[in-house]
Structure 1
Amino acid sequence: MARPSPTPAEFTADRIGAVEAAGVEYLPEDARDSGPRNLAAVFLGANLTWTNVVFGAFAILFGLSFWQTVTSMVVGIAVGTLAVLPTAGIGPRTGTNMTVSSGAFFGIRGRFIGSALALAIALGFAAVTVWTSGDAIVAAAHRLLGTPVGDVVHAVAYAAVAALMVTVALYGHATIVAIQKVVVPVVGGLMIVGVFAFAGTFDPGATGGEYALGGFWQTWALSAVLFAAAPISYGPTIGDYTRRISPKRFGDKQICAALAAGMFTGVLLPSLFGAFTALTFVNPTDSYIDDLVAASPAWYVLPIVAISLFGGMSQGVLCVYASGLDLEGLAPRLKRTQTTIITAAVAIALLYVGVFVFDAVESVTAMTVALNAVITPWVAILAIGALRTKAYDPVDLQAFAQGRRGGRYWFTGGWNVAAVVAWLAGATFGMLTVNTTLYVGALADIAAGVDLSTIGSAVLAGAIYLALSRFPSSASRHRIARSGRPNSCDFASARAG
């Protein structure tokens, strides 16, 4: 049977204001109409949102001072950004999103791990984005117009923010990129103005109280892990945008530099804003957003609404768009628009459960750190694979969607045992060493309470993967034995694995 050819360019065109037809299928060179500047704009704009602002405030609530928070912030964001940088070159070479591309390292069936993780992260962060933006709008409306602040009003605000996110996500890549280019100057500028709005009551020597985990280093590590989670959580999403960049026109250094600039700056600025403003509240409560609106000068309340709408949409759109692509990768018979609607509905349901059933602050912290513990080893394996692999077979990567068995990335029954075992070991260690106020792993005290879930899971998974992938899979050895000599696919498969 002849090998299927990649999707023609006319079916993968991408225009602003038009619904993107392409899903996770291979995008040919003619469809690569994006570039590094777009990549930087996407991840800069997507991070200028209340989610990262609230994370900055969380560190103060944990009991850290402003400068202690800044050090944990810089270290955490830098570690998270460096972790995902090597993966930036995968999408341009595979022409598809990151979870489908992960089949080159995990196997055609092994890539389901990445799809499941990406779905969980996208849905979780979409819910957090709607929660923070909706709360800000309700609080601002109450101060300006005297509207009520009950559960019904919050539910309506959440629905309105979610509807805006889903609408933009349905249009797809070109429209998302165009909106991010508007979000960057608008939201970034409003946050800078906000520093002056709250500067009069800022006290850099104040803290949020006692250390949340009983000691400085334990609490500082929790804060750093929380900040690292933002860049790492985008690991499965990066390919959604790099797949539209031509590797013939742009080199890896250009793509990585653009991603690093957008990611690091995008997470740092709102996080600093959150920590800065949290220390201006005279009588802080458990709700940072409510405190922000209450302490804000009257003239800055409308900018808070603008940040809520534009910032919430910018991050939420990336989450919803990514979740739609990931679900399409699992259910190729569905269209991207259909899977986007399905995953958006699930995200909204998660939001209502998290806000109205559980404590929102503790739920968000625990969810973020726990997801980070299982996604980090997956990202580490992809980063190692990306550094060792320059050539991919885009046709064989689409084997699952085309209902085919075998090929370069089939490994052992569709699974690369080395990568799967390494990820399982890393994720298990990560979950056992998580240390938050809501969930404490069985090995959380292994380093006197300092959270090792991120660094430890990545190092363990990477070491095991490197050790096991030195040897070809059993399936590769069987093919070599039958033919009497190795072929290029056998060596490439073993090297990619």
Structure 2
Amino acid sequence: MTRTATTTDDEVFVDSAGQPETRGIELIAEADRHGRPRDLFFVWAAPNVSVLNFTIGATMITLGLTLWQAVLVILVGSLPWIFTGIVAIAGPAAGTSGSVISRAMYGILGNRVLVAFTGWLISAVFLALNWLASSFMGADLLARIGLTNPVVWPIAVTVIVSAITVVVAVYGHGLILRAYTGVTVFLLVVFLAVTAFVLPHVDWTYRPAQELHGVPLWAAVTIGITLLASTPLSYSNSPDLARYLPASASPARIVAATAFGGAVPSAFFTIVGALLATGVTRTQLDAGIDVALLDLLPAWLGVFLVIGVVVNTISLNGMTVYSSSMALQAIGIPIRRIPSAVVVGAIGTALTIYLVLSTSLLEAVNLMLQFLVIVTGPAMAVFVTDIALRRNRYDGLDLFDERRGARFWYTGGFSAAGMTAVIVGGVATALGLSTTVWSGAISTAMNGVDLSVELGMIVSAVLYAVIQKSPLGAAASSPLALSDKTPHTRK
């Protein structure tokens, strides 16, 4: 089956909370557009009222930062949410998913390579990370009532939560848009109640046994920023959730709703995680922030917290599976969106079960988030730069033209600008990365200072802009005409 830009006569797509969404990457006609930019605030807030924020916040303390240094790093590390917001505006402009829009950056064949890697690897990792959190907390709660099997119960929780998640992805955009406002309110109530019980345990004067100064301090600060930035930089799928908005929707409002929806709850509860880490022992932290939380809370609130973690996991992973199902179509695999969502869910479940049996939550989160920026930072930089160069003008029909010599065929199906920028930017990111298992040459030379995000994004953005504007940036048969003030349309 070949995916087409628009629907056929016998296909009727419905965007409703009460029916599965059969539309995949097909273009959305203006008559089918609906909603307001402000709706995106709750779409992005629900997934980011998360226990993983507690984990990342606690990591800021284990890095050796003081409490107030950790708070400052968390605020700075939340700034990349602006990139998630900027990328979202391409959705209404093109009327299709981000995994199709990126054909303009990498070429028809180059995009398949990038989407296969980013759309699947990143999605599988984030599915696993979030299901892992709910699995550990669900198993901890069950252990307190006597169900202590360390293999059976975590796997059972994973399977149940993943199955519900796939259902959310199958119902798709209509359900996400309608339900996530209520989900956000519920999660805020639960997590603010948890915060109220955490605050009495906070050591407001906390300082590490050995305070960091000079290069070691900068190393801890930059590693913390890399960890924090990895989450918003991974959301290059933000056009998928905005693509149903009318083409006339305000780009500024889309950016604001998306960025603030992700950044505000994420930063707030990450700070709460740092506060929590000052009031518990390192042994408790090593056992997992989930264990530390359940030890502090009354039994009744512990139950609600686990429910909240599960609901948050479903909301976040529902969005991830939803986008990944379209990424599979964009690669060129002949599969409809609903079966694709089931396949993505099965892969993520398998990876989660493996992690449940082999690692701790804290260890898994820290390593995976750091390594992901090798891919996500350069890809996000290229996307944002392309939007700026084109002034957010994307012709949906051209994006679906996969013929040789088409506008986005470039040279042999690959864009020199996009492929060079993302590969060289990834190398620059790796050279600046500092983790417990890998330290790049630049980071090593700087005694552990981690400039991976900054290096990778700057290199990718500059390379992409320079090459794209040069004769090498476009095939002779498909000039980009960046100076053309009239949006390209097919006659």
TM-score scaled to structure 2, two decimals? 0.91
| 1:40-88 Cα deviation digits (max 9, x unpaired) | 111111111222222112222222232121111110111x113333212
SS in 2 for 1:492: coil
Q: Is the 8 A contact 2:5 2:396 kept in 1?
A: no
The whole-number CA distance in structure 1 between the counterparts of 2:116 and 2:401 is: 15
The whole-number CA distance in structure 2 between the counterparts of 1:475 and 1:351 is: 42
Q: Is the 8 A contact 2:202 2:279 kept in 1?
A: yes
Partner of 2:118: 117
The verdict on how the C-alpha distance between 1:364 and 1:305 changes in structure 2, with shifts beyond 3 A counting, is: closer
The verdict on how the C-alpha distance between 1:53 and 1:318 changes in structure 2, with shifts beyond 3 A counting, is: farther
- Counterparts of 1:243-254 in structure 2, within 5 Å, are 243-248=243-248, 250-254=249-253
Moved more, 219-228 or 275-284: 275-284
Q: Per-residue deviation at 1:453?
A: 0.8
The verdict on how the C-alpha distance between 1:309 and 1:360 changes in structure 2, with shifts beyond 3 A counting, is: closer
- Counterparts of 1:284-433 in structure 2, within 5 Å, are 284-286=284-286, 287-389=288-390, 390-400=392-402, 404-433=403-432
Amino acid at match of 1:376: G
Amino acid at match of 2:424: A
Partner of 2:59: 58
Partner of 1:186: 186
Q: Per-residue deviation at 1:264?
A: 1.2
The whole-number CA distance in structure 2 between the counterparts of 1:296 and 1:8 is: 55
Q: Per-residue deviation at 1:186?
A: 0.7
Partner of 1:27: 28
Q: Per-residue deviation at 1:210?
A: 6.2
Q: Per-residue deviation at 1:386?
A: 0.4
The whole-number CA distance in structure 2 between the counterparts of 1:136 and 1:474 is: 50
The whole-number CA distance in structure 2 between the counterparts of 1:207 and 1:158 is: 37
| 1:3-25 Cα deviation digits (max 9, x unpaired) | x7633696332001210010011
The whole-number CA distance in structure 2 between the counterparts of 1:93 and 1:29 is: 11
Q: Is the 8 A contact 1:381 1:423 kept in 2?
A: yes
Partner of 1:438: 437
Q: Alpha carbon RMSD of aligned pairs, Å? A: 2.4
Unaligned runs of at least 5 residues, structure 1:
480-488
- Counterparts of 1:78-89 in structure 2, within 5 Å, are 78=79, 80-89=80-89
Moved more, 49-58 or 94-103: 49-58
Q: Is the 8 A contact 1:412 1:474 kept in 2?
A: no
Q: Is the 8 A contact 1:173 1:241 kept in 2?
A: yes
Amino acid at match of 1:192: L
Q: Is the 8 A contact 1:426 1:457 kept in 2?
A: yes
Report percent identity of matched pairs.
26
| 1:336-384 Cα deviation digits (max 9, x unpaired) | 1111111111111222223323454333212211111221111111111
Amino acid at match of 2:254: I
The verdict on how the C-alpha distance between 1:195 and 1:474 changes in structure 2, with shifts beyond 3 A counting, is: closer
Partner of 1:460: 459
Amino acid at match of 2:199: A
The whole-number CA distance in structure 2 between the counterparts of 1:327 and 1:494 is: 33
Partner of 1:160: 160
The verdict on how the C-alpha distance between 1:453 and 1:238 changes in structure 2, with shifts beyond 3 A counting, is: same
Amino acid at match of 2:404: R
SS in 2 for 1:450: coil
Partner of 2:479: 490
The whole-number CA distance in structure 1 between the counterparts of 2:289 and 2:75 is: 22
The whole-number CA distance in structure 1 between the counterparts of 2:119 and 2:211 is: 32
The verdict on how the C-alpha distance between 1:474 and 1:119 changes in structure 2, with shifts beyond 3 A counting, is: closer
Q: Per-residue deviation at 1:494?
A: 8.8
Q: Per-residue deviation at 1:222?
A: 0.9
SS in 2 for 1:240: helix
Amino acid at match of 2:73: S
Moved more, 282-291 or 424-433: 282-291
The whole-number CA distance in structure 2 between the counterparts of 1:474 and 1:392 is: 17
Q: Per-residue deviation at 1:208?
A: 6.5
Residue 228 of structure 2 is aligned to residue 232 of structure 1: no
Moved more, 31-40 or 414-423: 31-40
The whole-number CA distance in structure 1 between the counterparts of 2:85 and 2:240 is: 15
| 1:206-255 Cα deviation digits (max 9, x unpaired) | 256668999222112111111111111112x201111111122x111111
Residue 65 of structure 2 is aligned to residue 76 of structure 1: no
The verdict on how the C-alpha distance between 1:215 and 1:160 changes in structure 2, with shifts beyond 3 A counting, is: same
The verdict on how the C-alpha distance between 1:360 and 1:439 changes in structure 2, with shifts beyond 3 A counting, is: farther
Partner of 1:485: none
- Counterparts of 1:139-158 in structure 2, within 5 Å, are 139-143=140-144, 145-158=145-158
Amino acid at match of 1:75: V
Q: Per-residue deviation at 1:179?
A: 2.5
Amino acid at match of 1:195: T
The whole-number CA distance in structure 2 between the counterparts of 1:318 and 1:211 is: 41
Q: Is the 8 A contact 2:329 2:337 kept in 1?
A: yes
| 1:296-324 Cα deviation digits (max 9, x unpaired) | 22342122122122111111111221221
Q: Per-residue deviation at 1:441?
A: 2.4
